[in-house]
Amino acid sequence: MILDISRGHIKVKVMDRIATVGGEMFFPGNDKLGFVVYSDTISFWDPPDQAIRISPTEKQLILDDIKSDFSKGGHTLDIE
Protein backbone atom coordinates (compact mmCIF):
# COMPACT_ATOMS: atom_id res chain seq x y z
CA MET A 1 0.00 0.00 0.00
CA ILE A 2 1.40 3.41 -0.97
CA LEU A 3 1.56 5.68 2.06
CA ASP A 4 3.16 8.77 0.51
CA ILE A 5 4.37 10.07 -2.83
CA SER A 6 6.67 13.05 -3.24
CA ARG A 7 8.66 14.38 -6.17
CA GLY A 8 11.58 12.11 -5.24
CA HIS A 9 10.21 9.03 -3.50
CA ILE A 10 7.34 6.65 -2.87
CA LYS A 11 6.81 5.30 0.64
CA VAL A 12 5.07 1.91 0.79
CA LYS A 13 3.94 -0.45 3.51
CA VAL A 14 4.39 -4.15 2.80
CA MET A 15 4.20 -6.95 5.37
CA ASP A 16 3.96 -4.53 8.32
CA ARG A 17 7.18 -2.79 7.28
CA ILE A 18 7.77 0.48 5.48
CA ALA A 19 10.19 1.12 2.63
CA THR A 20 11.07 4.37 0.88
CA VAL A 21 11.76 3.92 -2.83
CA GLY A 22 13.68 6.62 -4.67
CA GLY A 23 12.62 7.93 -8.04
CA GLU A 24 11.27 10.93 -9.91
CA MET A 25 7.75 12.18 -10.50
CA PHE A 26 6.71 13.32 -13.96
CA PHE A 27 3.48 14.39 -15.60
CA PRO A 28 2.60 12.51 -18.80
CA GLY A 29 0.07 15.17 -19.84
CA ASN A 30 -3.24 13.36 -19.35
CA ASP A 31 -3.98 14.75 -15.85
CA LYS A 32 -2.41 11.62 -14.43
CA LEU A 33 0.71 11.06 -12.39
CA GLY A 34 3.85 9.44 -13.71
CA PHE A 35 6.75 8.13 -11.67
CA VAL A 36 10.11 6.54 -12.45
CA VAL A 37 11.17 4.13 -9.68
CA TYR A 38 14.87 3.49 -9.19
CA SER A 39 14.81 -0.14 -8.13
CA ASP A 40 18.44 -0.04 -6.97
CA THR A 41 17.34 2.27 -4.11
CA ILE A 42 15.38 -0.59 -2.54
CA SER A 43 17.82 -2.14 -0.11
CA PHE A 44 16.80 -1.60 3.54
CA TRP A 45 13.53 -1.09 5.38
CA ASP A 46 12.72 2.23 7.06
CA PRO A 47 13.08 2.70 10.85
CA PRO A 48 12.61 0.92 13.16
CA ASP A 49 13.66 -1.90 10.80
CA GLN A 50 16.52 -0.01 9.11
CA ALA A 51 19.06 -2.74 9.92
CA ILE A 52 17.08 -5.36 7.98
CA ARG A 53 18.05 -5.82 4.35
CA ILE A 54 15.21 -6.17 1.85
CA SER A 55 15.39 -9.57 0.14
CA PRO A 56 14.92 -9.95 -3.63
CA THR A 57 11.49 -11.50 -2.98
CA GLU A 58 10.47 -8.58 -0.75
CA LYS A 59 11.79 -6.13 -3.34
CA GLN A 60 9.54 -7.73 -5.95
CA LEU A 61 6.57 -7.49 -3.55
CA ILE A 62 7.28 -3.78 -3.09
CA LEU A 63 7.45 -3.19 -6.85
CA ASP A 64 4.30 -5.26 -7.46
CA ASP A 65 2.46 -3.25 -4.79
CA ILE A 66 3.45 0.05 -6.42
CA LYS A 67 2.49 -1.27 -9.88
CA SER A 68 -0.91 -2.36 -8.61
CA ASP A 69 -1.71 0.99 -6.99
CA PHE A 70 -0.57 2.93 -10.06
CA SER A 71 -2.55 0.77 -12.50
CA LYS A 72 -5.74 1.17 -10.43
CA GLY A 73 -5.48 4.94 -10.85
CA GLY A 74 -4.47 4.81 -14.52
CA HIS A 75 -1.09 6.37 -13.69
CA THR A 76 2.20 5.73 -15.48
CA LEU A 77 5.00 3.80 -13.75
CA ASP A 78 8.47 3.13 -15.11
CA ILE A 79 10.96 0.94 -13.27
CA GLU A 80 14.67 1.36 -13.81
Structural domains of the chain, count:
1
Percent of the residues in the chain that have a pLDDT greater than 70, as a whole number: 100
Over 90: is that where the pLDDT of 63 sits? yes
- In whole angstroms, how far apart are CA 39 and each of 29, 30, 46, 59? 24, 25, 16, 8
- pLDDT confidence band for 28 (50 / 70 / 90): confident
Q: Which domain holds residue 39?
A: 2-79
Q: How far apart are CA 55 and CA 45, in angstroms?
A: 10
SS3 38: coil
pLDDT value at 31 more than 80: no
Closest by Cα among 80, 68, 75 to 26: 75
pLDDT above 90 (res 9)? yes
